[in-house]
């Protein structure tokens, strides 16, 4: 057994079974903090209101049990902290992920560990949010069929900082502008950082090594890359930094 605590300006404490995290989320008022103690919680949850879910000690695991996306966020002002998220499904057509955030703003995902998930963190039309201090490892598949560790799609003005992608596929920034990608680490991935039709992004002080490609700018413009370290790109076509139809600042 483990404990879920709701908090606004007060605490309500109760014991729940392992299949009741969704019920706890549904019952929580807007703005609540749900504090999880150590235990394995059933995933495939949907968050459709502004709340915070945080682990208050080591050993808080949310397990998707190999089906679908573990955590779906469909609201602004949602925070996830100090969680271990495992066991997404393996369907590329559904973009099975550890965490998917859709049409939201002012969210935060920080200090989470993601393992055995096809895609890691998938942001779709998400703005003004923070993704920081997360460690992401994909499912144990061939490089090309792993999911992307971190994916921004039509997502603007976010801070992506101090995340580690290890044995994932790519970090992709597609159709996304004004993001800060700072102090991240990538190892044994395909593209540590891949831009597509993206502009006005800042790429600073990232460290990438033992990947097929370090940083690739494709059909992108007006981006600053400074202070990055790209080492030991792998394979006959290994590349440090690549440019294709890239436009500089005017």
Report pLDDT digits (tens) over 144-191. 899 999 999 999 999 999 999 999 999 999 999 999 999 999 999 888
Q: What's 17's DSSP letter?
A: -
pLDDT of residue 4: 59
Residue ranges of the alpha helices (H) in the chain?
21-27
61, 34 in Cβ contact below 8 A?
Answer: no
What's the CA angle centered on 136, arms 199 and 146, to 5 degrees? 80
Greater confidence (198 vs 240) lies with: 198
pLDDT in tens, 42-74: 999 999 999 999 999 999 999 999 999 999 999
Owner of token pair 């993206």: 198
Contact between 62 and 85 (Cβ < 8 Å): yes
Give the pLDDT score at 234. 82
Query: Model pTM?
Result: 0.90
Percent share of the chain, pLDDT over 90: 76
Residue 240 has pLDDT above 90, yes or no: no
**Sign for the pseudo-dihedral over CA of 24, 45, 115, 110:** negative
108's tokens: 């935060």
* Greater model confidence, 247 or 69: 69
Determine the pLDDT at residue 154. 98
Q: How far is it, in rounded angstroms, from Cα 9 to Cα 6? A: 10
| Mean pLDDT lowest among 8-12, 27-31, 113-117, 232-236 | 8-12
The distance of Cα 110 from the centroid of its chain, to the nearest Å, equals: 9
Q: What is the pLDDT of residues 6-47, one digit of tens each?
A: 554 223 233 344 478 999 999 999 999 999 999 999 999 999
Contact indicator for 195, 173 with CB cutoff of 8 Å: yes
- Count Cα atoms within 13 angstroms, Cβ side, for 156: 8
């Amino acid at each position: 057994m483990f404990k879920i605590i709701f908090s606004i300006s007060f605490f309500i404490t109760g014991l729940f079974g392992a299949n009741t995290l969704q019920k706890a989320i549904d019952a929580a008022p807007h703005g609540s903090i749900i504090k999880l103690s150590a235990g394995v919680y059933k995933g495939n949850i949907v968050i459709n209101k502004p709340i915070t879910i945080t682990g208050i000690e080591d050993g808080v695991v949310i397990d998707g049990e190999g089906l679908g996306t573990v955590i779906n966020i469909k609201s602004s002002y949602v925070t996830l902290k100090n969680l271990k998220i495992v066991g997404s499904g393996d369907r590329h057509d559904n973009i099975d992920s550890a965490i998917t955030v859709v049409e939201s703003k002012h969210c935060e995902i920080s200090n989470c560990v993601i393992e055995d998930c096809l895609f890691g963190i998938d942001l779709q039309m998400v703005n003004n949010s923070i993704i920081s201090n997360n460690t992401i490892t994909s499912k144990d598949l061939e490089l090309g069929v792993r999911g992307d560790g971190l994916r921004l799609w039509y997502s603007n003005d976010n801070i992506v900082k101090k995340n580690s992608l290890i044995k994932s596929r790519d970090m992709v920034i597609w159709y996304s502008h004004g993001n800060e990608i700072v102090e991240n680490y990538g190892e044994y991935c395909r593209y540590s950082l891949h831009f597509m039709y993206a502009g006005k992004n800042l790429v600073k002080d990232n460290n990438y090594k033992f990947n097929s490609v370090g940083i690739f700018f494709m059909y992108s413009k007006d981006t600053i890359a400074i202070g990055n370290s790209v080492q030991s790109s792998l394979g006959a076509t290994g590349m440090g930094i690549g440019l294709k139809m890239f436009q500089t600042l005017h």
